[in-house]
Structure 1
Amino acid sequence: MISPWAVLAGATAAGGLAVLISELRPAPPDLGQALERLHRAPNPRRTAATTVRASWYDQLGARALAVVGARVPQQELALVGRTPARFMAHKLLFALIGLVLPGYLSAMAAVGGVALPVAVPMLAGLGMAAGGWLLPDAIVQSEAKEARVEYLHGIAAYLELVALERASDHGPAEAMRRAAAIGRGAVLRRIRDALERAATDRLPPWDGLDTLAEELGLTPLQDVADIMRISGTDGAAVYDTLRARAKGLRDELLADELAKAGTDSERMVAPGAALTLLMTVLIVYPALYQMLHVF
């Protein structure tokens, strides 16, 4: 006869797995969030009050934003396109999984006949809950680092496109809009949304880039806005300036890539030396063994 505790444990595990898969699945586009981005104030800061609450999951995360001591990386979340409410919901979910998992494993061990002290799952649950609470921060930081590099490559391409549009005798505002409309990548799409939002608010396009640069924490995007502001207000020729800034940005990215490649090469020295030593031992050991046993 199957134990009811085993059935309950299996149902709980299956339900948790189903909830986890449903949350990891990409969500459909939210029309409310798109409209909120278009009609947002010129210099906003996304908070729990302005977050569009699409589900109970986001509502729970929005309420968790009021927890004392909870730090929300606003710029990193903006880079990866994740809302603070969803970020806090992920923290709560991982912390809950870490808190419950040791108790669940202890119950399964008890069903199998292996009894553990109560203090073991309690202490392990607290430790895993703390680790689960901090895990989303590490994930967001890693994703934001990759997204920042992608944004910098996109901004370098956007600088070149704006320079070409200016060389074609288009005005500063028109050059910025036409350059953003050429590409279909995530970076240029984000820039295009910022320009459309500025046009909706009857603001110059460089003000829209100012807002986006502050939201994402990207200085090169702020440089684009400053250069085009000078061109729009003073009528300065900025073709050479744009090309020079694009070249400087690409040089910075190349230097970072070379430094990363050098670091990775240094890390490969130890595994390579260990592999060489292992091969040497494998080759020398049979001959050495034969020599010692012959004499």
Structure 2
Amino acid sequence: MISPWAVLAGAAAAGGVAVLVSELRPAAPDLSQALERLHRAPGGRGTDGAEEEPRWYDRVGAHSTTLPGVRIPHRQLALIGRTPARFMAHKLLFALLGLVLPAYVVAVAAFVDTELPVAVPFVVGPLLGAVLWFVPDGVVHGEAKEARTEYLHGIAAYLELVALERAADCGPAEALRRAAAVGRGTVFRRIRDALERAATDRLPPWEGLDALAVELGLTPLQDVADIMRISGTDGAAVYDTLRARAKGLRGELLAEDLARANADSERMVAPGSVLTLLMTVLIVFPALYQMLN
């Protein structure tokens, strides 16, 4: 008869695995915040004008950002819209899971009358905790790589829109604002926020784009700021320059897509070869077995 404690231990283990998988999966977009931005009343941040209170794990993560030896990828976190406090909270959660999991396995083994060495939690726990400590870094790196590609596509479209606004005889500052107001999505929202901050600080709009480019580490956005700065200070015609930069950026993105597709095709060669070898063995083995016997 199976012990009830073993059933409870198995259920707890399955729940832990489910939580781990849910943390590793990319987070779904917060639709409530997007709808709130669309229907936000002018001049207010919300219903009562107060900022949302940070949660307890965010506060714990904020206190742990000053730990010695901790490296926080600020640009990658800015690309995916995640705070350093949330990033550190994830690292602490995974490290704690690695420390507790071996002790939990030993306790489950004791319930099912299987003895494991007592030193397992003290040896495996720190090693597993150290390994899981770096799991959020890999997750953030992968998400930031995808977000960077999305930003570059958005910047290419923004360059085209700015060029069209300049061709319609709009001023440099007005062209930047009107082009940002046309688009939708995270890229254009961040550009609009940067332009609004520059206007609030009584700075030219290309200064806001420059600050956003430094924050996100995006050279094409820096190019937009430099081109429009030249147009705003010297009155240079930049239509052809903007179109050429957009064309070059699209060419770079296409080359990256082709390189990624070629790499995926090369990785598919090994599974195909193994499958062909297995099929050959299955076909040849019966005849060879009869010949040898």
Q: Same fold (TM over 0.5)?
A: yes
Aligned to 2:206: 206
Question: Where does residue 147 of structure 1 map in the other structure?
Answer: 147
Q: Which residue of 2 aligns with 1:65?
A: 65
Gaps in structure 1 of 5+ consecutive residues: 32-37, 39-51
Distance 1:169 1:29, change over 3 A: same
Summarize the Cα distance change of 1:73–1:103 in structure 2 as closer, same or farther, 3 Å threshold: same
Provide, for residues 151-186 of structure 1, a one-character-per-residue CA deviation record: whole Å limited to 9, x for no partner. 111101100110011111111111111111111111
The answer to which structure, 1 or 2, has the higher relative contact order (CA under 8 A, 6+ apart) is 1
Classify the secondary structure of the residue corresponding to 2:144. helix
State how far apart, in whole Å, the 2-side matches of 1:14 and 1:288 are: 46
**What is the alpha-carbon distance in structure 2 between the residues aligned to residue 4 and residue 65 of structure 1?**
42
- In the TM superposition, residue 263 of structure 1 has moved relative to its aligned partner by 1.3
Is residue 198–residue 207 contact of structure 2 (8 Å, CA) maintained in 1? yes
For 1:272, what is the secondary structure of its paired residue? helix
Q: Is the 8 A contact 2:94 2:129 kept in 1?
A: yes
**Paired residue secondary structure (1:137):** helix
| Distance in 1 of aligned mates of 2:3 and 2:192 | 60
- 1:137-286 equivalences under 5 Å are 137-286=137-286
| SS of the residue 2:170 aligns to | coil
CA apart distance, 1:228: 0.5
Q: Distance in 2 between matches of 1:283 and 1:10?
A: 43
Structure 1 residue 269 displacement after superposition: 1.5
Match for residue 39 of structure 2?
none
SS of the aligned residue for 2:134 comes to helix
Structure 2 CA distance for partners of 1:257 and 1:25, relative to 1, 3 Å? closer
Question: Which stretch of the first structure deviates more once superposed, 12-21 or 193-202?
Answer: 12-21
Does 2:108 align with 1:108?
yes
List aligned pairs for 1:67-82, cutoff 5 A: 67-82=67-82
Alpha-carbon distance in 2 for matches of 1:192, 1:58: 27
What residue in structure 1 maps to residue 118 of structure 2? Answer: 118
3-state DSSP class of the match of 2:117?
Answer: coil
CA distance in 2, matches of 1:10, 1:292: 49
Partner of 1:68, secondary structure, is coil
Instruction: Give the aligned partner of residue 136 of structure 1.
Output: 136
Assess, with a 3 A threshold, how the Cα gap between structure 1 residues 59 and 19 changes in structure 2: closer, same or farther. Answer: farther
Conservation of the 8 A alpha-carbon contact between 2:6 and 2:112: no
User: Do the aligned residues in 2 keep the contact of 1:53 with 1:59 (CA within 8 Å)?
Assistant: no
Tell me which moved more, 71-80 or 265-274.
Answer: 265-274
CA separation of 1:59 and 1:16: change in aligned 2, threshold 3 A: farther
Deviations 1:22-75 (A, max 9, x none): 9878766499xxxxxx9xxxxxxxxxxxxx861111110010011100100000
Q: Distance in 2 between matches of 1:186 and 1:142?
A: 18
Q: Which amino acid aligns with 1:214?
A: V
Length-normalised TM-score, structure 2: 0.85
Closer, same or farther: CA 26–13 of 1 in aligned 2, 3 Å: farther
Q: How has the CA–CA distance of structure 1 residues 14 and 288 changed in structure 2, closer, same or farther, with 3 Å as cutoff? A: closer
After TM superposition, give the deviation of residue 18 of structure 1 in Å. Answer: 9.9
- The match for 1:42 is none
Counterpart AA for 2:168:
S
Aligned to 1:142, the other structure's residue is in SS state helix
Distance, in Å, in 2 between the alignment partners of 1:236 and 1:131 is 55
TM-score when scaled to structure 1? Answer: 0.84
In 2, distance between residues paired with 1:7 and 1:216? 49
Question: CA 1:248–1:135 in 2, change beyond 3 Å: closer, same or farther?
Answer: same
Q: 1:166 to 1:150 in 2, by over 3 A?
A: same
Identity in percent:
73
Q: Which moved more, 1:78-87 or 1:112-121?
A: 112-121
d(CA) in 1 for partners of 2:62, 2:88: 7
